[in-house]
A and B are shown apart, each in its own frame.
Chain A
Amino acid sequence: MISTASALPLETHPARLAAANWVRTAICILLLAAVVACLTLAFGRTGERIAVQLCVNVTAVVALGLFCGNTGIVSFGHGAFMALGAYLSGILTMPAGLQRTALPNLPDFLAAHELSVWLALPIVAIAGLCFAAVTGSAIARLAGASATIATLGLLIITHGIAVGAREITRGSQTFFGVPRVTDLTIALGAALVFIVIARLYRESRHGLFARAARDDPDAASALGISPRRTRFVSWCLSGALATVAGALYGHMLGAFSPASFYLSLVFAHVAMMIVGGMASVGGAVAGVMVVTLLQDTVRQFEGGAELLGFVFPEFFGLTTIALGLAILLVIWLRPQGLVGSFELGPGADAPFLRRIGRGTKPANDPEKVAETMLQARSLSKSFAGVRAVDDVSFDVPTGRITGLIGPNGAGKSTLVNLLTHQYDADAGKALINGTELTKVRREAVAGKGVSRSFQNLRLFRGLTGYENVLVGSLAAGRSRQLAAPVAIRELGDLDLGEVAGKTADALPYGARKRLEIARSLSQDPSILLLDEPAAGMNPAETDDLADRLVRTSEARGLGILLIDHDLKFVNRLSNWIVVMNRGEVIAQGLPEDIRTNPSVIEAYIGRGRTAAEAQFVPNKTTRVLTVGVDQ
């Protein structure tokens, strides 16, 4: 497998990925179509009804998964959208005569429309979009468990409103007279359209951004992606689709009440999504199919049956028990769901795609960057009274590698976080060409030409190597056509061609470190902040990285702020070194001056030693032995 992958040229990766993505969409569609065909051909009308229910559930769960899968936030709030869709579509399509009896106090603007379902559905979708935009403006501000709780709150509030709005919904009483128009054609058609929309969204710019922000919001915002915005966009699209799914569900039932869209429906859909795998569209489709087929198979045995000579007694509740066991088994054996965390189907490295020869030419090296200066001016930051960074000032100009060294706890990473506005500074400012970075939004820092890597790897784990770099390139504001060649260039430059199709999680450590740098470089930054890029690398990898950084810096003329406590590495690369200790800059200057600076030696080794002694401390783990080693 690996040898196959390595044989594939990097240039054809984007074309192969595009093909693989279509294949994956086709697999979802074919899977659903095959199951529906089997059901209807083998079991006649009974099978057809199961197929209708299955397809409607696919629309609901795919809509749910569009938000949950791309943002990583489990939503219990989609029952609210479904209720909105079902009631609105029901009111718009209901025969006027029946409506006068069932809903005598319906407000005039809603009454007696008698629309066909084809006219009602677009209205329902727009209403759903508006509702999603309103609710999303609040919910998208939250992440993780608090967002999930907020969606649950939305469900509870909407349920309360539906129960209370008796003129429109008949309150908790049954809402009936909804035309039962959801037949197999409509249900299957909708399910297929939903699958295509969800697949397109997932691989689109917004879908990639959402998944990047899901995997690592800090890294995403450092690239200029607003995690809140990705959640908002996903929520709106997902909500609009769920509203349409609710309308289809309502037209399948014909009669329902607010309770029909409450916790039990929502839990059923969430369970299907989790059984199949939350992260992918294929997972949503597979989950619905497995659960539905399991339920409908087991159901046949509830009323008592004879199978292969065994007589089963009447045993009601078997379906619920079987479903519960299935969910437990899946969560135990495959915590990521049946499909796992990746889309069902082949990746870009699949052997049958190797014939695709359409290449994407790597973009030309960027022009030398314009002269720019990143300045730290009196930056200070305290955590619970500890001054992590205290009145720090220095410059990082383009065309120079500036080393920032200091023992553990000196405040180096905090300083980087201040420069990129990950943290708010207590005092002082960070400037680039006169613009105060400390005052712009965190996501806007990248747009000012400052890109960074992180001390602890912060790759987008659910994305492939290529997609990681592509996200960086797209986030720099390029169109897809322009972003791909840049991603190819950076992957090639950092010798990552073989790992383009592998997920970031599966890469060896050194490759992951390089991938993070490639992702930063794909934004064509003026200033690159590298936080311990060599940490954890072996000497050969460290040397290799050093060579690449020097070459890149010279070729593009960019300024690098290199943070490390590996003094040999920093010494070898830097033209200028800033030394920090206990939050303060204790020295800065040319490397040869720093090496002999007594306060630097003291900070690293302790009072009363000399540089000559330091060279012979045989303790590799602390890395201090390399002080003063020749460049």
Chain B
Amino acid sequence: MKLKFAFLAAASAAAITGTAVADEYVIGVMSAQSGYLAPYDGPAYAGFQFCIDEKNAAGGLNGNLKVKTIVKDTRSDIAEGVKVVQEMIDEGAQFIVSSADADPTIAAAQITMADNIPTMTFAGTAPVLTQVGPHVFGSYPADNQQGAVLASYARDQGLERVWLVKSPDSAYTLGGPEYFGSAFESLGGEVIGESLYSLNQPDFSAIVTNIKAADPAPDVIVTWAWEPDFPAFIKALRGAGVETQVMGGDVLDTPTVRGLGEVVDGVVHTSGGFPDEGSAYADFIARFEKATGTTPDNNYYVNGCDIANMIEQAVAAAGSTDPAAVSAAMAEIKDGEGVMSNFTFAGTDRMPLRDVVVAGITADGKKEFILRSTADPETLPKP
């Protein structure tokens, strides 16, 4: 029965290809509402749904294609993710937005591969995740782009010797500093030392002692550590009297890190975007605040909204909702218009080239814009 229905649907879809698109575009969203991915999936889903609702109110994608979202909680559990993706496909999902990490995205992409259903991660930044197939997309600037932009900024500041602090426990905490190191070296800098830590390691004094004893001393320390590791590390470092410049990844772009006080004064980090006054991003924040009463205090909200924009533009370019056509059109987008920043998939392996912002934290806990730049695809460290 179901199979028959599917045949009918496929046949009728084929019949109207090229003319009007179907009435409704079904997007499945796997969103971890608890567990380690919740801090990223939650805001990303809120931003995504907000912009989808805005578009639906205006007639749908491109003004004529209403979107129906199916959202399912994965509890950050990969087995649960596998299950809900299949459920969403059963329920007719034509596009899958997956959790903000490589594991669930790749697991989902292996399932969507059979039907070529385009699959885009909320905020997974490990460049490897698109290796599964031509239907898998990133949305956030990848780790290697962030590493490359930050490295080029560091070199511009005249910094020469970097000490990397990384954790093999996750692709992000391991990959970010390594991409930085490789870009830094190709720009003439030198990696003089590395330390490894474990996620949720309470004590960083051994690492700090090593850094303090290094000869020659590093003039910059780079880590992609997140909370609570980063606060523990920076407190130990500054407590030991090491005043070396510290740079980090976009996970430092949170109010709690900025609230750490003078220990984070001068810390520089990457970010996906910056709400300059009068920008589309600032406008998004105002609209979102007005509608929901919540202030989007990180980039995942706006990136969620940009996923809606990417889908809209891919569907428009494909001229159809056929999954393979949407995938192909998405991969060819060049300088598509986004709220956080514009995005280019053409010429990449489907991790979009986007502006990376470098920002600094000030003594009074504010975020300070430093520069905005796009990584050079030629010198981008290979995943």
A residues near B, CB below 8 A?
44-46, 49-50, 53, 101-102, 163-164, 171-174, 176-177, 180, 249, 252-257, 259-260, 264, 299, 302-303, 316-317, 319-320
Which residue of A44, A45, A254, A257 contacts B110 across the interface (Cβ within 8 Å)?
A254
* Neighbouring A residues of B79 by C-beta, 8 Å: 53, 249, 252-253
* Neighbouring B residues of A102 by C-beta, 8 Å: 131
In the complex, B103 has a CB within 8 A of chain A: yes
Which residue of B106, B110, B168 contacts A164 across the interface (Cβ within 8 Å)?
B168
Given contacts A316-B33, A320-B34, are A174 and B128 in contact (CB under 8 A)? yes
Q: Is the CB of A174 within 8 A of B103?
A: yes
- In angstroms, Cα B31 to Cα A302, docked, is 12
In the complex, B171 has a CB within 8 A of chain A: yes
- In angstroms, Cα B168 to Cα A176, docked, is 18
Q: Is the CB of B103 within 8 A of A257?
A: yes
Q: Which 8 A-B pairs have the closest CB atoms?
A: A316-B33, A255-B107, A255-B106, A254-B110, A174-B106, A173-B171, A176-B106, A174-B102
Within 8 A of A (CB), among B6-47: 31, 33-35
Within 8 A of A (CB), among B56-90: 71-73, 75-79, 82-83, 86-87, 90
Q: Is the CB of B71 within 8 A of A303?
A: yes
Given contacts A163-B169, A173-B126, A254-B107, are A316 and B73 in contact (CB under 8 A)? yes
Q: Is the CB of A259 within 8 A of B110?
A: no
Q: Is the CB of B82 within 8 A of A316?
A: no
Chain B, Cβ-Cβ closest to A314: B71
* Neighbouring A residues of B131 by C-beta, 8 Å: 101-102, 176
In the complex, B356 has a CB within 8 A of chain A: no
Given contacts A102-B131, A249-B79, A316-B34, are A172 and B174 in contact (CB under 8 A)? yes
In the complex, B162 has a CB within 8 A of chain A: no
The contact sample of 17 A-B pairs, CB cut-off 8 A, is A49-B86, A50-B83, A53-B83, A163-B168, A173-B171, A174-B171, A180-B110, A249-B79, A254-B107, A255-B78, A257-B102, A260-B78, A302-B33, A303-B71, A316-B31, A316-B73, A319-B75
Interface hub of B76, B78, B86 (most chain A Cβ within 10 A): B78
In the complex, B111 has a CB within 8 A of chain A: yes
Q: Is the CB of B78 within 8 A of A302?
A: no
- In angstroms, Cα B75 to Cα A312, docked, is 20
Q: Is the CB of B86 within 8 A of A253?
A: no
In the complex, B132 has a CB within 8 A of chain A: yes
* Neighbouring B residues of A101 by C-beta, 8 Å: 131
What DSSP secondary structure best describes chain A's contact surface? helix
* Neighbouring B residues of A252 by C-beta, 8 Å: 79, 82
Chain B, Cβ-Cβ closest to A164: B168
- In angstroms, Cα B80 to Cα A302, docked, is 14
Interface size on B, residues (CB 8 A): 36
Chain B, Cβ-Cβ closest to A258: B169
- In angstroms, Cα B74 to Cα A264, docked, is 14
Q: Is the CB of A171 within 8 A of B174?
A: yes
Tell me the minimal C-beta distance from B128 to chain A in angstroms. Answer: 6
Q: Is the CB of B103 within 8 A of A256?
A: yes
Residue-wise interface mask of B (168-193) relative to A, using a CB-CB cutoff of 8 A (1 in contact, 0 not): 11110011000000000000000000
In the complex, B129 has a CB within 8 A of chain A: yes
**Given A255-B78, A256-B107, A264-B35: 19 more A-B contacts, CB < 8 Å:** A45-B2, A46-B87, A49-B83, A49-B86, A53-B83, A172-B169, A173-B171, A174-B126, A180-B111, A252-B82, A254-B111, A257-B171, A260-B78, A260-B103, A302-B33, A302-B72, A319-B34, A319-B73, A320-B75
* Neighbouring A residues of B90 by C-beta, 8 Å: 45-46
- In angstroms, Cα B133 to Cα A102, docked, is 12
Given contacts A174-B106, A254-B107, A260-B103, are A45 and B33 in contact (CB under 8 A)? no
Chain A, Cβ-Cβ closest to B31: A316
Chain A, Cβ-Cβ closest to B128: A173
Count: A-B pairs, CB below 8 Å: 99
Q: Is the CB of B110 within 8 A of A255?
A: yes
* Neighbouring B residues of A255 by C-beta, 8 Å: 78, 103, 106-107, 109-110, 132
* Neighbouring A residues of B86 by C-beta, 8 Å: 45, 49
Chain B, Cβ-Cβ closest to A256: B78
* Neighbouring A residues of B35 by C-beta, 8 Å: 264
B residues near A, CB below 8 A?
2, 31, 33-35, 71-73, 75-79, 82-83, 86-87, 90, 102-103, 106-107, 109-111, 126, 128-129, 131-132, 168-171, 174-175
Given contacts A163-B169, A164-B168, A249-B79, are A302 and B110 in contact (CB under 8 A)? no
Tell me the minimal C-beta distance from A66 to chain B in angstroms. Answer: 22
* Neighbouring B residues of A171 by C-beta, 8 Å: 168, 171, 174
- In angstroms, Cα B75 to Cα A255, docked, is 17
Chain B, Cβ-Cβ closest to A321: B34
* Neighbouring B residues of A177 by C-beta, 8 Å: 110, 132
- In angstroms, Cα B196 to Cα A164, docked, is 12
Tell me the minimal C-beta distance from A403 to chain B in angstroms. Answer: 62
Q: Is the CB of B168 within 8 A of A172?
A: yes
* Neighbouring B residues of A163 by C-beta, 8 Å: 168-169
Chain A, Cβ-Cβ closest to B71: A303
Tell me the minimal C-beta distance from A246 to chain B in angstroms. Answer: 12
Tell me the minimal C-beta distance from A383 to chain B in angstroms. Answer: 41
Q: Is the CB of B73 within 8 A of A302?
A: yes
* Neighbouring B residues of A303 by C-beta, 8 Å: 71-73
- In angstroms, Cα B31 to Cα A177, docked, is 23
Interface hub of A173, A180, A254, A256 (most chain B Cβ within 10 A): A173
- In angstroms, Cα B348 to Cα A100, docked, is 21
Which residue of B73, B77, B129 contacts A174 across the interface (Cβ within 8 Å)?
B129
* Neighbouring A residues of B174 by C-beta, 8 Å: 171-172
Chain A, Cβ-Cβ closest to B198: A160
Tell me the minimal C-beta distance from B38 to chain A in angstroms. Answer: 8
Q: Is the CB of A176 within 8 A of B110?
A: yes
* Neighbouring B residues of A249 by C-beta, 8 Å: 79
* Neighbouring A residues of B129 by C-beta, 8 Å: 174
* Neighbouring B residues of A53 by C-beta, 8 Å: 79, 83
Given contacts A102-B131, A255-B107, are A317 and B168 in contact (CB under 8 A)? no
- In angstroms, Cα B75 to Cα A264, docked, is 11
* Neighbouring B residues of A317 by C-beta, 8 Å: 33-34, 73
- In angstroms, Cα B76 to Cα A167, docked, is 26
- In angstroms, Cα B71 to Cα A352, docked, is 51
Which residue of B107, B109, B132, B170 contacts A253 across the interface (Cβ within 8 Å)?
B107
- In angstroms, Cα B226 to Cα A258, docked, is 19
* Neighbouring B residues of A299 by C-beta, 8 Å: 72-73
* Neighbouring A residues of B132 by C-beta, 8 Å: 176-177, 255
Chain A, Cβ-Cβ closest to B132: A176
Q: Is the CB of A254 within 8 A of B82?
A: yes
* Neighbouring B residues of A49 by C-beta, 8 Å: 83, 86-87
* Neighbouring B residues of A174 by C-beta, 8 Å: 102-103, 106-107, 126, 128-129, 171
* Neighbouring A residues of B107 by C-beta, 8 Å: 174, 176, 253-256
Q: Is the CB of B170 within 8 A of A172?
A: yes
Interface hub of B35, B106, B128 (most chain A Cβ within 10 A): B106
Q: Is the CB of B83 within 8 A of A264?
A: no
- In angstroms, Cα B87 to Cα A303, docked, is 14
- In angstroms, Cα B131 to Cα A163, docked, is 20
Tell me the minimal C-beta distance from B294 to chain A in angstroms. Answer: 15
* Neighbouring A residues of B83 by C-beta, 8 Å: 49-50, 53
Given contacts A253-B107, A303-B71, A316-B33, are A264 and B87 in contact (CB under 8 A)? no
- In angstroms, Cα B79 to Cα A172, docked, is 17
* Neighbouring A residues of B87 by C-beta, 8 Å: 46, 49
Q: Is the CB of B78 within 8 A of A172?
A: no
- In angstroms, Cα B107 to Cα A57, docked, is 18
Tell me the minimal C-beta distance from A312 to chain B in angstroms. Answer: 14
* Neighbouring A residues of B109 by C-beta, 8 Å: 255
Tell me the minimal C-beta distance from B41 to chain A in angstroms. Answer: 10
* Neighbouring A residues of B77 by C-beta, 8 Å: 264
Tell me the minimal C-beta distance from B57 to chain A in angstroms. Answer: 19
- In angstroms, Cα B126 to Cα A49, docked, is 29
Which residue of B31, B82, B102 contacts A173 across the interface (Cβ within 8 Å)?
B102
